Chains A and B, each alone.
Chain A
Amino acid sequence: KAGVTQTPRYLIKTRGQQVTLSCSPISGHRSVSWYQQTPGQGLQFLFEYFSETQRNKGNFPGRFSGRQFSNSRSEMNVSTLELGDSALYLCASSLVGQGALGTGELFFGEGSRLTVL
Chain B
Amino acid sequence: GDSVTQMEGPVTLSEEAFLTINCTYTATGYPSLFWYVQYPGEGLQLLLKATKADDKGSNKGFEATYRKETTSFHLEKGSVQVSDSAVYFCALINTGTASKLTFGTGTRLQVTL
Whether B42 lies near A102 (C-beta < 8 A) is no
Q: In this assembly, does A99 line the interface, its C-beta being within 8 Å of a C-beta of chain B?
A: yes
Smallest Cβ distance from A109 to chain B, in angstroms? 5
Whether A102 lies near B45 (C-beta < 8 A) is no
Which residues of A lie under 8 Å from residue B45 when comparing CB positions?
Answer: 107-108
Size of interface on B: residues with Cβ below 8 Å to A: 23
0/1 interface trace, chain B 86-107, chain A, CB 8 Å (1 if under): 0001011101001111111110
Smallest Cβ distance from B95 to chain A, in angstroms? 5
Of the candidates B43, B91, B105, the one whose C-beta lies within 8 Å of that of A104 is: B91
Q: Which residues of A contact B (CB under 8 A)?
A: 4, 33, 35, 42-43, 45, 48, 55-56, 58, 90, 92, 98-100, 102-111
New contact pairs (20) apart from A48-B100, A104-B32, A105-B46, CB-CB < 8 Å: A33-B100, A35-B103, A42-B103, A45-B101, A56-B98, A58-B100, A90-B44, A92-B43, A98-B93, A98-B101, A99-B95, A102-B93, A102-B95, A104-B34, A104-B49, A104-B93, A105-B49, A107-B45, A108-B44, A110-B41
